[in-house]
Structure 1
Amino acid sequence: MKAIRVARRSGWQNHIREHAYQADVLSDAAQKYWVEALPEPFAMQFHTTEETAIAVATERLWEMCVTFLDWFFTDEVYGAVDRRLERLRIPAPYWQVIKDSWDRCDPVEDLSLLTRFDLAVTEEGQIKLLEINGETPLLGAETVYQWNWYVDYQRNYQHSDYPLPSDANQFNDFWEHVAGQWRRIAEDYDLRKTGITFLVDENLEEDAEMAMQLIQILHDEVDPNIYVQILYLRGLRDEQGNEVQRGLGLDEEGYFIDAVNQRIPVLWKIYDWSDIQSDVANLGVTEALVRQLATAEVKVIEPLWKQVLSNKGALALLWECFKDSPDRRYLLPTYFEDDVSVEATRLLMGMSVKKPLLGMEGVGISIETGGGALESRPSLGYGREGFIIQEYVELPQAFGYYYVVGSWAIDGAAAGIVIRGDTSRITGRHCLIIPHIVSDAGLYIP
């Protein structure tokens, strides 16, 4: 694994605009979100054995997640599952419907589309799980665009000062694996009859771009006639503040409804279940939503059981489940902040990472040294629900950036990687997307 210099393509911004979702942010040189905005663009090169190791780790981590969830939702003693759900600060009214969701996940109900594991792939060759992006896994659009960069570079820039190796490839099967899972969902959920609604936050461009990418895959690879609609979370308003399109709603029976009051049979969302539950509680209609979810008539992607996997408390419980097994090699020692065990106390006294149970994109995370925070990100209101502490692992660096490998797991299979870099040890939002290649030769032979 090493960083390699690449040429900045003369028309890189135009190529992004013509071949990418997330085009605005990727092509904006000022944001430095895509690597060609840097004075010295670079890519990461992996050996085929490293590609295999990441794929094996990803698929094993998914198997561990399934084993963990089977344990999590099993009452070895009365009330054990409820106590675990309470430990994750999941609201009690939803406990039963979340349990039912896991019971229904096989074979044709409460299906998941995709999951992304954030991994530290160290310079010593270790692969360690940092986080599980199970419920709102963004970066699909960026994953696809890095393939388009690779194809364009191979076709037009091998004559530059920085050609790619002759055997260069890319670990990127995202499109094909998403298409395969869409086929399964389309058949099992009968999308040709029901259609599907994509719920996005109107304030977050990346939500809409991820939705459009997934819609393109669905239409190009499965069926162009499947009805889709984009629904905005809160609705749209004009410059005077007048509502011009309504957002997601609930009817009196707790069904999700769209902008024209039609019930939604299948919903894809990029909005946390915890936030939905909080919004519903503020509206005073929790009971109605729970009653509807119990019927399982509405199919939601990602399903309720993913709320457990996306909670960072799951990392502490995963460690508890696998700390004495060989699979611990993929995990970092992790504990709830209020754990008073000798092991947790020892971790607290050293260098550790403190993470809120909820939140994403580095929000509320701090690197602790036992005497205070070495580095931290703003909490933005997260943390009231509690924290975990995780053993610190030094991220590898390239050209002044610490980088994290995001590895996709789709229907249990490893589906490629996307790499993010940050000048901070805590990877934040709109950091740096770094393309990669896989090559054993490291040479370009014309």
Structure 2
Amino acid sequence: MNTTENYQVKRKAFYSQFTNFFYDIEDLEYAIYDVMPIAKEQIEEIKYASNILWKIFTKVSKQFKKLNKEQLISLGIREEMIPFIDLDYLTQQSVLARFDFILSKSGELKAIELNGDTPFLIQETFEMNRHLCKEFGFKNPNDDKIVMKSLSAALFASLEYLKEKKSQPVIVITGKEEEEDYEEYCHVQFIKRNLPFEVKYVPISELRIINESNEHIQKGLYTPDKQKIDVLYRPAHPIEFLIDDVSNDGDPIGIQLLELIKERELAIINSPAAYILQNKILMALIWAKKDDPLLYSPEEIQAINRYMLPTYLSEDVFITNKQPYVKKPVYSREGNTVEIYKENGSKWYESSYTHYTDNLYVYQQYIEMPSIEIPLKEEVAEKKWLIGSFIADNEACGLSCRLGNAVTEWDSHWAAIGYK
């Protein structure tokens, strides 16, 4: 990586060209001014692993529709969400998802989780990665055209799903306002700029729900100027947050919105079915049947054993075998509420924040991420790194690198990925 003395000067000069990108987040030097070189052969393997694991995850997730209420609750599905998990009206269960991989020192590639509903790193992967590869003379492995194709297909499927077909549908993208969360705002605005159709931006705080029709207005989701929204794209507001959304006077507006979808008054992207893909318990279910020829093809069995880590609903196997392991909530983000345990069962590391303690947990074999040194203002810091691999239109389409601590949390850094 770049370690020249004038690194900070060059970094600021480069990123200052991009006024709609959050290269610093408060005091965090978020975006690294360099490219992580990955061999072309390794990039091809990451794409292959992403594609075949995507087939496996979606195959298993669709089995949830066959389960009863008690079974779903035992797998971490919120009871309030059960009436809506079969709302799967898009051409893909998720229009844009991201696997996180560890590429170990020995060259092993292991998927540690799937962000199946509202993954971040989109602007970094599909805009800034291209600029950095050009700056440093690397080839860019990412293809934003696949993402736009996937979003276009999702729009048409959403419009087809609606009860009322309009010649001029109202399509809205939503998220937090700039003053509230600049990173999320840039993320949403980047997607808006690149969508191949007309879309309005409405801050999430300004959306209004009418949950009963009357003589003056039809029930539905509305903009501040009282336009009834047909399709809502929520790239930064996960379903597991939406379930708990309430108005200032206590109305369960998240559940009311899901009811509108069920009644075909509204379509959202991703559909509510993506909620299952976000559930980390999928990894334990896949691993439990990893050698089942009735469920998986020979190629899929080989891929599970090669690219996944042993994952269970209990830590017992790891304690018995004296193996280090990671404890993760089934629904969590940004490395929140994650703990790492040593071979003797004692806790070695834990996340800085613990917002998901009310979840079920999965227990996954621990493997160490590789380390690299990066130049920061105050020091040259050693960081652990992992690779994010995006899936859109059922195809691997983009890579990004995050650099952080033993657990990759909100305060991690981002680096572009390229090849020669």
Q: For this structure pair, what is the TM-score category when the shorter chain's length is used for normalisation?
A: 0.7 to 0.9
Name whichever of 301-310 and 176-185 sits farther off: 176-185
* Cα shift readout 1:69-88 (whole Å, capped 9, x = no counterpart): 23332x3xxxx343442124
2:363 aligned residue (389, 399, 413)? 389
* 8 Å Cα contact 2:85/2:272 also seen in 1: yes
**TM-superposed deviation, 1:386:** 2.1
Offset of 1:389 from its aligned partner?
Answer: 1.0
Report the equivalent of 1:170: 140
Name which of 331, 334, 342 aligns with 1:358: 331
SS at 1:395 equivalent? coil
Tell me if structure 1 keeps the 8 A contact 2:176–2:184: yes
Aligned-partner Cα distance in 2 for 1:274–1:334: 22
Residues 286, 306 of structure 1: CA spacing in aligned structure 2 closer, same or farther, 3 A cutoff? closer
Give the corresponding residue for 1:330. Answer: 307
Structure 1 segment 8-23 matched on structure 2, within 5 A: 8=7, 10-19=9-18, 21-23=20-22
Is 1:201 paired with 2:176?
Answer: yes
Give the superposition deviation at 1:215. Answer: 1.2
Aligned to 1:159: none
Aligned-partner residue type, residue 34 of structure 1: A
Q: Deviations over 1:114-147 (max 9, x none)?
A: 1011111112222111111111101111112121
* CA distance in structure 1 between the aligned counterparts of 2:23 and 2:37, rounded to whole angstroms: 27
Q: Deviations over 1:94-131 (max 9, x none)?
A: 313212x23x344xxx7632101111111222211111
Tell me: CA distance 1:10–1:405, structure 2 relative to 1, closer, same or farther (3 Å). Answer: same
Query: Counterpart of 2:128?
Result: 145
> 1:331: how far off?
1.0
Aligned to 1:98: 85
Query: CA 1:186 to 1:98, structure 2 compared with 1: closer, same or farther past 3 Å?
Result: closer
Map 1:241-280 onto structure 2 (within 5 A): 247-253=206-212, 255-269=220-234, 270-280=236-246
CA contact (8 A) 1:4 1:44 kept: no
Q: What CA distance in whole angstroms lies between the structure 2 residues aligned with 1:133 and 1:20? A: 28
2:68 counterpart of 1:65:
no
Q: Do residues 133 (structure 1) and 99 (structure 2) align?
A: no
Q: Name the residue aligned to 2:378.
A: none
**Residue 413 in 1 paired to residue 381 in 2?**
no
What is the identity, as a one-letter code, of the residue corresponding to 2:244? S
State the shift of 1:20 in Å.
5.9
Give the SS at the match of 1:148.
helix
Counterparts of 1:122 and 1:9, CA distance in 2: 29
1:117 equivalent in structure 2 = 99
Larger deviation, residues 400-409 vs 250-259: 250-259
Match of 1:184 among 153, 157, 174: 153
Aligned length, in residue pairs: 383
Corresponding residue of 1:442: none
Quick one: structure 1 residues 305 and 132, their matched pair in 2 at CA, closer, same or farther if it must change by over 3 Å?
A: same
* One-letter amino acid matched to 1:331: M
- TM-score, normalised with respect to structure 2: 0.82
2:204 is aligned, of 220, 230, 233, to 233
Distance 1:11 1:125, change over 3 A: closer
- Provide TM-score, normalisation by structure 1: 0.78
| Aligned twin of 1:438 | 419
Contact 1:116 1:408 in 2 (8 A): yes
Counterpart of 1:435, as a letter, is A
Percent identical among aligned pairs is 20
Please give the alpha-carbon distance, in whole angstroms, between the structure 2 residues aligned to 1:88 and 1:387: 10
The amino acid that maps onto 2:55 is E
User: For residues 9 and 332 of structure 1, do their structure 2 counterparts lie closer, same or farther at Cα, with a shift above 3 Å needed?
Assistant: same
Partner of 1:46: 38
Instruction: Determine the structure 2 residue equivalent to 1:444.
Output: none
- The secondary structure found in structure 2 opposite 1:23 is coil
Distance in 1 (alpha carbons) for counterparts of 2:260 and 2:81: 11
- The verdict on how the C-alpha distance between 1:35 and 1:288 changes in structure 2, with shifts beyond 3 A counting, is closer
Contact 2:21 2:186 in 1 (8 A): yes
1:243 match? none
Q: Displacement, 1:351?
A: 1.0
Taking a change above 3 Å as real, the CA distance of residues 343 and 296 of structure 1, as seen in their structure-2 partners, is: farther
Q: Is the 8 A contact 1:5 1:43 kept in 2?
A: no
The unaligned stretches of length 5 or more in structure 2 are 160-165, 213-218, 293-300, 374-381
Give distance in 2, aligned partners of 1:318 and 1:192. 44
Cα 1:285/1:124, change in 2 over 3 Å: same
CA contact (8 A) 1:129 1:331 kept: yes
The residue that corresponds to 2:410 in the other structure is 429
Letter in 2 for 1:432: H
Separation in structure 1 between the aligned mates of residue 319 and residue 207 of structure 2, nearest angstrom: 45
Aligned amino acid, residue 131 of structure 2: N
Once the 2 structures are TM-superposed, how far is the Cα of residue 50 of structure 1 from its aligned partner?
0.7
| Distance in 1 of aligned mates of 2:75 and 2:223 | 31
Paired residues of 2:140 and 2:417 also in contact (CA < 8 A): yes
Aligned equivalent of 1:343:
317
Match of 2:216 in 1: none
Q: Give the alignment of 1:69-84 within 5 angstroms.
A: 69-73=61-65, 75=66, 80-84=67-71
Q: Structure 1 residues 175-184 or 319-328, which shifts more?
A: 319-328
Q: Secondary structure at the match of 2:201?
A: strand
Distance 2:152 2:240 in 1: 28
Q: What amino acid does structure 2 have at the position aligned with 1:268?
A: Y
Aligned AA for 1:180? Answer: K
Contact 2:114 2:278 in 1 (8 A): yes
Which range is displaced more, 268-277 or 285-294? 285-294
> Which amino acid in structure 2 is aligned with residue 391 of structure 1?
Q
Task: Judge conservation of contact 1:20–1:141 (CA < 8 Å) in 2.
Answer: no
CA RMSD of aligned residues (A): 2.7
1:301-331 deviation digits (Å, cap 9, x = unpaired): 1211111111222222222243552222111
How far apart are 1:93 and its partner, in Å? 3.7
**Pairwise CA distance, 1:356:** 1.3
